[in-house]
Amino acid sequence: MVICMALLLAAAHGRARAATFSPIDPTQFAWQQKPGAHLPLETGLTDDTGKPVSLRDLVGKFPLILDLGYFHCPSLCGVVRADLFSALQQSGLVAGRDYSLIAASIDPAETATDAAAARQSDAAEFPGLGVAVFHYLTGSQQAISTVEQAVGFRARYDARYRQFLHPSGLVFLSRQGVVSSYLLGVGYKGGDIRAAVIRARAGGIARAALPILLLCFHFDSSTGRYTLAITKILRLLGLLTVALIAALVLVLSHSPARPRIPPRPGT
């Protein structure tokens, strides 16, 4: 009975929290992979010097790696970009000869100044990679949404935490701007990056990647953990565990003592 009451109290606590906290359905932000889709080449963006560019200006010479995130992201975006750059260093590929890269901000509030600062930081951390030939882009909400929809990227801004909720991953595009393949999540390997670039250069289109969902939200890049979200869950589970243990001790302490069996004669 006491255990049931503890469970009911925990359920009531959960309902009370649900009334003030709207849970996020992460499946709403999974990639909608679109192999064979075309990048909207007429979309106008702005480079890190403040110069207007269209996506058409960036295709034609090399396969493209598209990294969607934002430059002031407090969570996973910087980790994804750094992981990609580390893998590129191990791939044997040469920027400006074998591939080009677009780092496009999904935050319409970011500007060319933010993009330039990101380029400068990346160039200092990865000297010799060829960051100078990469494209760091920002754009209007309409332009960003057009690119997101074309490659199946879904994001939402959470005003409460002042972060964008979005999936992590990379899109590889052919020289014609056609989606060739995806690498989802994080933890990229040089061989995988190289294979994806070679496929895109040949105009190949891979099957949809294994649907790994790693969301950029509440992620602490210094610890590599989703600290805020996980802490809340652990606290709730901890309270429930303590309540159950206390209820079990209470039940056992009030249980009637078992009668003592007298010893048999002659023993």
Q: What is the CATH number of the domain that holds 184?
A: 3.40.30.10
Strands (E), 1-99: 44-46, 52-54, 64-69
Torsion angle defined by CA atoms of residues 117, 120, 121 and 126, in that order, rounded to the nearest 10 degrees:
160
This prediction's pTM: 0.71
Domain interval for residue 189: 26-216
Report how far residue 131's alpha carbon sits from residue 151's, in angstroms, rounded to the nearest whole number. 23
Is residue 210 over pLDDT 80?
Answer: no
Any domain includes 87: yes
Any domain includes 248: no
Any domain includes 117: yes
% of the chain at pLDDT higher than 90: 55
Any domain includes 187: yes
**Which spans in 109-226 are helix H?**
112-125, 141-151, 190-201
Q: How far is CA 6 from CA 10, 15, 241, in A?
A: 6, 14, 10
Q: Tell me the pLDDT of the chain averaged across its residues.
A: 79
Any domain includes 17: no
pLDDT range class, residue 267, cuts 50, 70, 90:
low
**Once rounded to an integer, what is the mean pLDDT over residues 142-155?**
95
Determine the pLDDT at residue 261.
Answer: 55
Determine the pLDDT at residue 238.
Answer: 59
Determine the pLDDT at residue 53.
Answer: 97
Cβ atoms 251, 108 nearer than 8 A: no
Least confident of 21-25, 36-40, 126-130, 243-247: 21-25
Any domain includes 123: yes
Is residue 22 over pLDDT 70?
Answer: no
Instruction: Count structural domains, the chain.
Output: 1
Any domain includes 20: no
Any domain includes 69: yes
